[in-house]
């Protein structure tokens, strides 16, 4: 499969493709602190930065990710959704939308600033797809969540990542 990496507008990207995920430790709706390193050598990651539970476009993207969660798990992937919202606000969204993945809270925006940007009081939504070793394969940062990769494109990226891994040929 040909790499779709050349399909991205790179003007807003802070991280180098092929680089390593910046570390973070953020509280989550699962009542534990989550770090991308927790998944190292175990799971590919889909990290979704979003405006928060009050954004209809972001809620739609969260529901879309929840709808393909089993397909993502088939690609050995986990979803981490991160916003500036409090844990309480994130917990409400998880319950309302019945999300099967953790939502992480970054109220100070320190992690957000490593990956995307904050303009005014709103972060720019982004999707970051990594392999199980923390290497970036794809990233997109847009004005609105609706402009980010759709479910099928995310699954295709994960299939591409898995095709690059000789140890993962059973998948």
Domain count, the chain: 1
Instruction: Please report the pLDDT score of residue 1 as a whole number.
Output: 35
Residue 140 CB partners (closer than 8 Å, separation 6+)? 8, 9, 126, 127, 148, 149
The yes-or-no verdict on residue 5 having pLDDT over 90 is: no
Residue 58 lies in a domain: yes
Instruction: Please report the pLDDT score of residue 129 as a whole number.
Output: 94
CATH at 83:
3.40.30.10
Instruction: Please report the pLDDT score of residue 3 as a whole number.
Output: 41
Instruction: Please report the pLDDT score of residue 53 as a whole number.
Output: 92
Residue 73 lies in a domain: yes
- Please write the tens of the pLDDT for every residue from 142-167: 989 999 999 999 999 999 988 886 55
Domain housing 58: 26-31+40-164
The yes-or-no verdict on residue 8 having pLDDT over 70 is: no
Instruction: Please report the pLDDT score of residue 19 as a whole number.
Output: 77
Handedness of CA 70, 163, 152, 133 (dihedral sign): positive
The yes-or-no verdict on residue 74 having pLDDT over 70 is: yes
Mean pLDDT (the chain) is 86
Residue 112 lies in a domain: yes
Three-state DSSP string of 31-86? CCEECHHHHCCCCEEEEEECCCCCCHHHHHHHHHHHHCHHHHHHCCEEEEEEECCC
């Amino acid at each position: 499969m040909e790499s779709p990496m050349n399909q991205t507008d790179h003007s807003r990207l802070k991280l180098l493709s092929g680089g390593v995920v910046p570390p973070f430790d953020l509280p989550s709706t699962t009542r534990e602190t989550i770090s991308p390193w927790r998944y190292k050598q175990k799971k590919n990651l889909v990290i979704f930065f979003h405006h928060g539970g009050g954004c209809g476009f972001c809620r739609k993207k969260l529901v879309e990710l929840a709808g393909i969660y089993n397909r993502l798990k088939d690609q050995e992937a986990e979803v981490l959704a991160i916003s500036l919202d409090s844990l309480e606000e994130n917990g409400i969204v998880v319950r309302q939308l019945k999300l099967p993945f953790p939502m992480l809270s970054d109220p100070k925006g320190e992690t957000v600033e490593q990956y995307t940007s904050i303009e005014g009081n709103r972060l720019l939504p982004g999707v970051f797809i990594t392999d199980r070793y923390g290497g970036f394969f794809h990233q997109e940062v847009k004005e609105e969540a609706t402009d980010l990769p759709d479910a099928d494109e995310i699954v295709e990226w994960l299939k591409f990542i898995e095709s690059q891994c000789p140890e993962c040929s059973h998948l």
